[in-house]
Amino acid sequence: MKNITQYLSRKIKFIGFVLILLVLAGDFIRNWPIRFIEIIVNSALDGDMNTILMFGGLYLIFHLFGALTKSLSNYLSAYLQTDIGISIQNKLYSKLLRVSLISLQGKNSIEITNSLIEDSEFISNNLIAPLVKLFSAIVSFVIALVIMLNISWQLTLITLPCGLVISLTARAISKKSEKNISEKRTKSSYLWKTFAEGIKGVMPIRLYRYDKKYKEIIVTANEEIKKVTLIQRKLEDMSFFFVSTLFMFTIGIIMISSAIFVVRGTMTIGSLTAVMMYNHMLVDPLIDVLDIQQNLIKLKVSLRRVNSLFSLPDDKNVDKEVVKVDEVVLKNLAFTYDGSEHVFNKINMELTAPLNLCIMGESGAGKTTLANLIASLHTPTDGEILYFCCNKKMNGVPNISYLIQDGYLFDKSIVENIKIANPLINEEKINNLIELCCLKDVLEVHKDNPIGENGNHLSGGERKRVRIAQMLANEAADIYIFDELTSSLDEYTAKKITKNIFDLGLNKICIFIEHDKKMTKFMDKTIIIENGEIK
């Protein structure tokens, strides 16, 4: 829980401290009346009316305050659970926005979403209540142990072993349960991933008549979940059977033993009555612990998955200041993914504004990787990238505008998607971008309506034009990176948009990653990446 607790606010920790005090006070107030019952019954046998009235009144007052503390602790517990759930989800998403892109690329987006929603929600609903219940059970057990030892140490020595047998029996079952719950979570994640891929990949599934085979995959995954669910149900039923049977057995022993002690004169009638009314004092906390174990096992699995996301390394460039840049210098630059072979090694290059640079090369040569390094989205494995402005070295990262090859569009309107790159851009400039990117007809059709998940209400070419307009909206950028500017566009539209962009006269460092050799005529410089080197 270390990674989780460090994200809790002082307010939450303070409320947690108050909750602990309430639980302590409440358990004492609710358990101590056993002594009043003992005194009341013994006083009834002696005919002492004053003592009966006094301790009868105390009994009522204690139970009134006991109910009050219970209500307050339940409310604070619910408050903390809600607050912590929201806090964890917010902190977790903030963490994901800071994570190294290389580390994030190694994770499945559906699994991350599952942890972000399902696991964080389960934690929020089960982090506080089980822990409060566990703490209360321990406190109640200690208080009950002290009181029961006071009433009859012999009876206490009989009751405790019975409680321990119950605990050990359930503990043995819970070990199997923990493994089963972890397996169920894994299979559940796989099922959701398969569902999500089936929805996104419905077109090739239908086109290649893969639907029957894919349905078999879903059915098999569901059967696997059904199997582990039934095993879990069996384990929980076994636990309930053994625990409830042992509990009733323990009650019988307490009842018989107490009666024998009264007959022998080692216990009073008042003590017998109190024990019979409160015979659950020692055993109930142990049973509560066993009930809590099931939730704690599930909680442990969720915490482990969420902590694995919190443990991902941060991008070193996230907190760096955005600075003005007019020159980029690459010195002995090298990069590798996860210790594999170098994508490229010892690259040296100087880029000075204004510059139109074309990077070419075969697929997989490292063109986009080099652009990502220049944009400070990746960190070099070796060597360095230096940024300058007016011949002065800048300690920070440049303002980048990037036409990402597989960029994402949000389920907002076209204009709202464009404004993501520059929320303060005015209407006149938006209209200019619409004209420049040949989006006028598209905008007339879709108007202010959301364009769907990743713009799925638009064609491939329309999505591309929206993303071009989005990147050009960032007028403050010092470096513009166009990854495959003309792909997905018909020849006429590609020529028109390309001409419009170069007519802007950006006078910045503009990097074009291209396969189309026709683009080189617009460039000041063209480099080819081959076998990890610049040609």
**The pLDDT of residue 4 is above 60:** no
Mean predicted confidence (pLDDT) in 24-44: 85
In this prediction, residues 315-329 reach a mean pLDDT of: 89
Q: What distance separates the 2 farthest-apart alpha carbons in the chain?
A: 113
> Tell me: the pLDDT tens digits for 418-451?
999 999 999 999 999 999 999 999 999 998 999 9
Residue 269: what pLDDT? 82
Task: Select, from the ranges 54-58, 272-276, 318-322, the one with the highest average predicted confidence (pLDDT).
Answer: 54-58
Tell me how far apart the alpha carbons of residues 297 and 179 are, in angstroms, rounded to a whole number.
9
The confidence score (pLDDT) of residue 270 equals 79
Inter-CA distances, 43 with 32, 38, 171, Å: 18, 9, 43
Between residues 337 and 9, the one the model is more confident about: 337
Burial of 311 (0-12, 13-18, 19+ CB in 10 A): exposed
Question: Taking all residues of the chain, what is their mean pLDDT, rounded to a whole number?
Answer: 83
State which amino acid sits at residue 29.
I
Cβ atoms 529, 343 nearer than 8 A: no
What would the pLDDT profile of 378-412 be if each residue is shown by its tens digit?
Answer: 888 889 999 999 999 999 999 999 998 888 899 99
- For a pLDDT cut of 90, what percent of the chain falls above it? 24
Predicted pLDDT of residue 287? 66
Within a 10 A sphere around the Cβ of 444, how many other Cβ atoms? 8
pTM score, whole prediction? 0.69
How confident is the model at residue 63, as a pLDDT?
85
pLDDT one-digit tens code per residue, 283-296: 677 667 766 776 77
DSSP β-ladder status, 509-513 and 525-530: unpaired
pLDDT greater at residue 116 or residue 67: 67
Q: How confident is the model at residue 417 (pLDDT cuts 50, 70, 90)?
A: very high
pLDDT digits (tens, 9 = 90+) for 170-199: 666 666 676 777 777 778 877 877 877 787
Residue, of 72 and 150, whose pLDDT is higher: 72
pLDDT of residue 291: 67
Domain ranges across the chain? 2-310, 322-534
Fold of 2-310: ABC transporter transmembrane region fold (1.20.1560)
Q: Could you check whether the bond before residue 354 is cis, i.e. omega within 30 degrees of 0?
A: yes
Out of 135-144, 163-172, 230-239, least confident range = 163-172
Residue 311 in tokens: 């443990």
What per-residue confidence (pLDDT) applies to 137? 82
Nearest-angstrom CA–CA distance, 499 and 461: 17
The average pLDDT across 310-323 equals 84
pLDDT at 202: 77
Angle formed at CA 94 by CA 93 and CA 97, multiple of 5 degrees: 90
Residue with more model confidence, 36 or 206: 36
Each residue's pLDDT tens digit, 89-110: 778 778 877 888 777 766 666 6
Beta-carbon contacts of 26 under 8 Å, excluding residues fewer than 6 positions away, are: 66, 69, 70, 73, 136
pLDDT for 425 equals 93
pLDDT of residue 286: 67
Average pLDDT over residues 115-140: 77
Lowest mean pLDDT among 38-52, 66-80, 183-197, 272-286: 272-286
Contact criterion met (CB below 8 Å) for 163 and 250: yes
- In angstroms, the Cα distances linking 442 to 12, 464, 474 are 49, 12, 21
Contacts 24+ apart (CB under 8 A), 41-50: 41/268, 41/269, 41/270, 41/273, 41/274, 42/268, 42/269, 42/270, 43/270, 45/269, 45/270
Q: Which fold has domain 322-534?
A: Rossmann fold (3.40.50)
Q: Are 493 and 462 in contact (CB under 8 A)?
A: no
Of the listed ranges 3-12, 433-442, 474-483, the least confidently predicted one is 3-12
Q: Do residues 110 and 193 make contact, with C-beta atoms less than 8 angstroms apart?
A: yes
Q: What is the pLDDT of residue 391?
A: 92
86: Cβ contacts below 8 Å, ≥ 6 apart: 124
Average pLDDT (295-310) is 78
Residue listed under structure tokens 């057990």? 141
- When pLDDT is averaged across residues 463-470 and rounded to a whole number, the result is 94
200-205: which pairs have CB atoms within 8 A and are 24 or more residues apart?
Answer: none
Average confidence (pLDDT) over 453-476: 92
Per-residue model confidence (pLDDT) at position 130: 79
Predicted confidence (pLDDT) per residue in 246-260, tens digit: 777 777 777 788 788
6 pLDDT higher than 60: no
pLDDT greater than 70 at residue 457: yes
pLDDT band at 114 (very low <50, low <70, confident <90, very high): low
| pLDDT surpasses 80 at 352 | yes
Does the pLDDT at position 2 exceed 50? Answer: no
pLDDT surpassing 60 at residue 326 = yes
275 vs 36: which has the higher pLDDT: 36
